[in-house]
Amino acid sequence: MTERQIFLSASERPDPEARAAYLDEACAGDTELRARVEALLRAPDESGSAIDTDGTLLPPSNPSATVVSPAGAHSRHVPAVSAEDTLISAAPAPVPQMSERIGTVVADRYALVEVIGTGGMGTVYLADQTDPVKRQVALKLIKVGADSKDVLARFDAERQALALMDHPNIARVYDGGTTSAGQPFFVMELVRGVPVTAYCDRHRLPVGARLELFVSVCRAVQHAHQKGIIHRDLKPGNILVTEVDGRPTPKVIDFGVAKATELKLTDQSIRDFGAVVGTPAYMSPEQADPLAVDVDTRTDVYALGVVLYELLIGLLPIDAQQLKRATILEALRMVREVEPPRPSTKLSTADARPLIAANRSTGPAELVQALRGELDWVVMRALEKDRDRRYDSVGGLARDVERYLADEPVEARPPTRWYKARKFARRNRGPVAAGALVFLALVCGIVGTSWGLRRALGAEGLARERLAQAEQSREEAERSQKETERALADSKHAQAKAETAQKQATATSDYLVNAFRKPDPAEDGRQLKVVDLLERAASQLDRDKDMAALARARLRDALGQTFFGLGLPDRAAAIQEKALADYQKELGPNAPAALDVMHRLAFALGQSDRIDEAVRVSEDLLARRRSVLGPEHPDTLMTMTQLAGRYWSANRLGDAIPLAEQALAGMRKAWAPDHVEFINSVTNLAMLYQAVGRTGDAVTLHEEAVTLMRTNKGFDHPDTLLAVNFLGRAYAESGNTAKAIDLQRETLIRIEDKFGPTHHRTLDVMSKLAQTCYQFGRAPDALPVSEEALKRAKRAKEPNTGAVLTAMQDLAMTYSYLNRPADALTLLREVVDLATTKLGPMHKTTLTATHDLGVALRVAGKLDEAIPVLERALAARKKVGPEDDTGVQRTTAQLASAYDTAGRAVDAIPLLEQLLVVQKAKLDPDHRDLLVTMANLALAYGSVGRTGDAVRLHEQVATAFQKRFGAVAPDTQTVTQYLGAAYLKDNQLDRAAATYRDLLAATRPLLKPDDPNLARTLAGLGEALLVARKFPEAETVLRECLTIREKKLPDDWRTFQTKSLLGAVAVGRKQFDKAAPLLAGGYEGLRARADKIPGSQKALLPDAVDRLIELCTATNQPAELARWRTERAKYPSVAPPPRAVRCD
């Protein structure tokens, strides 16, 4: 027996004792033979007993070992180039060296950006090429330490193989060489694609489109064969599809285990004997034989047959689960011996038939019918175990597929019964031989007894034979007549079908000519714009009665998508509603095409402010996709993400977040991270987290989305720029304003280059940049952005009222933050009038503008105007939205603030208490909006004397702000000062002083000596010390405060309040001469600025008079005492509080 026969027979004996006994007998004392066979048998067991269906087998450097690489089986698909399969050996994998680190520059022109694939032999990097051209490339770099002779030979062979080929469907090699550390590398075209099977399923490509892609792949492989290269590892993961000018373009990659047929790829030796090369599920029978030495180009024909099988029915010819469970040797045996069923047969028994058919835009029965016959024959010929019966070349396979696409007869035919019998006998030599001997003995036994009977029956047989011939002739004549009739019927049907197709083609052609004819000024009266042409096309489509319903539906869907792309979602939704009705009528409500249009319709509705309808359509779509496709299908998960977004728009965050989290968790399992919908889902969940104040989680997800976008779409892709813009906003909300603004400025520059200065996306980014600036303390930076955005919005080619109004609002709010109330109010009144006229009084934009006007009036101190405007805005918002609507919450908060400022804390308290209930049910406990409401309610409680309730809330707010933002953040300083004031009102003087001292110690090192914020803290501490009768310390603190305020805020009412407090200190210290001018000057200054003092602080005026009365009483000045008592009577509504300051 040969070594091969012994190896194969031993491999079929899994029991160790039985295998050893067999080897004792078969090797017959030949120790060298037995050692070689045992080495072959031992290698699989040492590397693992199971393999993944996509695990690639690589030839090892040691010919006595078989190497298994599951690398990549569970990793994400690399968009640029598939990763080098891992070479597993007894030695540990080499540790990446310094030269492999990100940022390293290879050969002075390739900067390594990130790892996009890795294996035992090398690592593939995304790299930026800087010279002689700037572009992104894939750079494969051999690992330090993985430099055995065999690995180096394979690396060099792959490089040479790629260099030999020049085909649009094969990844090109650009460059190669050796790094300064001596590591070989080569540079390839960066392929941003996905496996061909995934691409086809994701885009629901029908069978015809899949076959056209497959032909392109075949042409690429045939090109490699013509160059003398056999790939040997063709599989979907090595056939990536990218889009070039909007058309899918397959690229064959990873020639790491390629073999030359004639020329020599490398001067170094590569040892393949005794090793199995390739991926078991796609491996040809001869490739699955470890001892085979004559693998030729037909091994790639077989692999492409498997790929075609999978493209057609989404399943592998040999059951994937069986391959997974099998040992390596058993898996190889299955590849060599198990006959796969025809694609149509396997599909007809598959449980996933509905899903498989849906991914091919057809029904299960229709798909089975399409496969039966010629496609079955083509696939099964490519999968012949006997390579002599396969197509003789990949070109032959491609030509037969093209014949099928052209409705020409294919060369492939099903095998004959005689061939099947021979194959059966060859596979079962022993049983067939025994059966043949038994049969021969029986024949010999009956020959003698049959001879006489034969003569007697001869005459009768002759007569019957003639009768049978006559009957056969009659049957053939009838059959011929039926075939003729059937052919005639088929011909008539084909003619009718052709006539119908011609009629529809003519109708479609006439429609396109009429809809998009060149504008005629004499007829049209003006120069038509793109939108005008599209509107004319839509109108023409409505009037066309000759076009088939499905053709009309497709054109309507295309028009709807075009309108949406132009930023006109209302028009897109109206047209896609008609397209959906056509599809549902012609194909049924759950047809894949109908569900796809429903998805686009829901998105357009959501963008056109028809939120309730968008929610209804999205919920209906999700129910249908769950029923038809299952809960884990990618389209179902995508619909879940979309519905979560609609819930968010409808202010249903409690429904949105769990649904978005569930969708993203499913997508992490179902899709590669480079899929656009996966990235969108990451972004959507991040924005939902932002909405409820989970800024830390939001930043993490936004950073993930930006990384994925930059890797898979490039730094300048529009989607990447939007992702960066979202990340910038998240940074701002988390307190990193500078980083946020830098990111958004970068985004604006890039997106303007892509879309132009007046595109709605450019204007949207400008709006977000302006908002970040003025909302987070950089209002001066917002001004030029807001002014420019308004100019651009007004001069846009396509008028966009929404963009103009948004720009006007941003500019007005910038004016407000810059303390330019007159400019802000003028612009906001214009916005309200324009929005009311153009959009209606209850439109979201109108309500937002009315709200902003009320806020600006409040900030300007025009409370008599602000309160009615805010009351009107709140009433209107409650009519169109629930209590937990974001707009309702914001207007409620602003109206309460206006009430409190006007001294109407009693009216503010019920609004704030109701708002607090709503926000606690909706927001996280540390959400900033919730904390601000608590702080405002605490202030209102303090204004009406509920000091205990005020202290309790202020303590909670201050603790939360310190924990989330830090002790020295501006907002934290403010709420801490509120807490100190609350302690003072509640007569907790020690706590008040301690609170102010702690704040002063934390902030003084960070502030300039004359910072007004420092003065604010000093004022609080000084008042606490004054009330506690600690006059010397109080005087020191208040003197410093007054010095700052007289320098920085000379005309502010707070400066004069500080003078009054210092006067009270002088009275307490019996320094009456000092006290008199301070007290008198303080009061006069406060009275002159009474209109600037908030309503909640109006008690400062009678308090200042009370101090003057105390001075006159202490110094015995009856006349002056009478004058100040008369002055005090002007404030009858304010009862004089008990004073802690007195003269002893």
User: What DSSP line would sit under 66-100, residue for residue?
Assistant: -EEE-TTSSSPPPSSSPPPPP---SSPPPPP-GGG
- Residues acting as catalytic residues: 233
Task: Please indicate, yes or no, whether residues 176 and 303 belong to a single structural domain of this protein.
Answer: yes
The structure tokens listed for 1025 are 């010390």
Phi, psi dihedrals of residue 67, rounded to the nearest 5°: -105, 130
Interatomic CA distance for residues 855 and 638, integer angstroms: 39
Interatomic CA distance for residues 865 and 1085, integer angstroms: 26
Residue among 142, 6, 113, 120 nearest 71 (CA): 120
| Residue 23 zone, left/alpha/beta (φ > 0; ψ -120 to 50; rest) | alpha
pLDDT for 77: 31
- Residue 628 in any domain: the answer is no
Task: Please indicate, yes or no, whether residues 312 and 214 belong to a single structural domain of this protein.
Answer: yes
- Residue 839 in any domain: the answer is no
- Residue 204 in any domain: the answer is yes
Tokens 């479609």 locate to: 508
- Residue 737 in any domain: the answer is no
Tokens 């493209």 locate to: 311
- Residue 1022 in any domain: the answer is no
Q: Please, how many CA atoms are within 13 Å of residue 12, restricted to the half-sphere of its CB?
A: 8
810: number of Cβ within 10 Å: 27
Asked if residues 684 and 701 have their Cβ atoms less than 8 Å apart, the reply is no
Task: Please indicate, yes or no, whether residues 142 and 285 belong to a single structural domain of this protein.
Answer: yes
- Residue 333 in any domain: the answer is yes
Q: What is the CATH number of the domain that holds 201?
A: 1.10.510.10
The structure tokens listed for 1050 are 């000379």
Interatomic CA distance for residues 598 and 608, integer angstroms: 15
Burial of residue 1012, with CB atoms counted within 10 A of its CB: 0-12 exposed, 13-18 middle, 19 or more buried: middle
Task: Please indicate, yes or no, whether residues 32 and 133 belong to a single structural domain of this protein.
Answer: no
pLDDT for 845: 83
Task: Please indicate, yes or no, whether residues 118 and 247 belong to a single structural domain of this protein.
Answer: yes
3-class SS of residue 843: coil
Judging by DSSP bridges, how do beta strands 110-118 and 184-189 pair with one another? Answer: unpaired
pLDDT for 81: 30
Length of the chain: 1144
pLDDT for 541: 76
Interatomic CA distance for residues 259 and 227, integer angstroms: 11
Amino acid at 362: T
Question: Which helix or strand (DSSP H or E) is residue 846 part of?
Answer: helix 844-859
List the chain residues with pLDDT less than 50: 42-99, 146, 148, 261-274, 418-420, 423, 438-439, 441-449, 451-453, 456-457, 459, 463, 487, 490-491, 493-528, 1134-1144
Residue pLDDT, tens place only, 52-87: 333 333 322 222 222 222 222 333 333 333 322 222
Asked if residues 1038 and 1058 have their Cβ atoms less than 8 Å apart, the reply is yes
Q: What is the mean pLDDT of the chain?
A: 78
Distances (CA, A) of 929 to 16, 486, 768: 71, 77, 19
- Residue 332 in any domain: the answer is yes
Task: Please indicate, yes or no, whether residues 111 and 42 belong to a single structural domain of this protein.
Answer: no
- Residue 1113 in any domain: the answer is no
The structure tokens listed for 54 are 């996509």
Task: Please indicate, yes or no, whether residues 351 and 385 belong to a single structural domain of this protein.
Answer: yes
Interatomic CA distance for residues 240 and 196, integer angstroms: 5
Interatomic CA distance for residues 858 and 581, integer angstroms: 51
Interatomic CA distance for residues 800 and 444, integer angstroms: 99
The structure tokens listed for 201 are 């399923």
Helix axes 31-47, 16-27, angle to 10 degrees: 150
Task: Please indicate, yes or no, whether residues 83 and 143 belong to a single structural domain of this protein.
Answer: yes
Task: Please indicate, yes or no, whether residues 298 and 204 belong to a single structural domain of this protein.
Answer: yes
pLDDT for 151: 57
State how many domains the chain has.
Answer: 2
**Domain that residue 40 falls in:** 3-47
Task: Please indicate, yes or no, whether residues 30 and 162 belong to a single structural domain of this protein.
Answer: no
Asked if residues 256 and 227 have their Cβ atoms less than 8 Å apart, the reply is no
Task: Please indicate, yes or no, whether residues 31 and 76 belong to a single structural domain of this protein.
Answer: no
β-bridge partners, 67: 58
Task: Please indicate, yes or no, whether residues 215 and 250 belong to a single structural domain of this protein.
Answer: yes
Judging by DSSP bridges, how do beta strands 229-230 and 173-178 pair with one another? Answer: unpaired
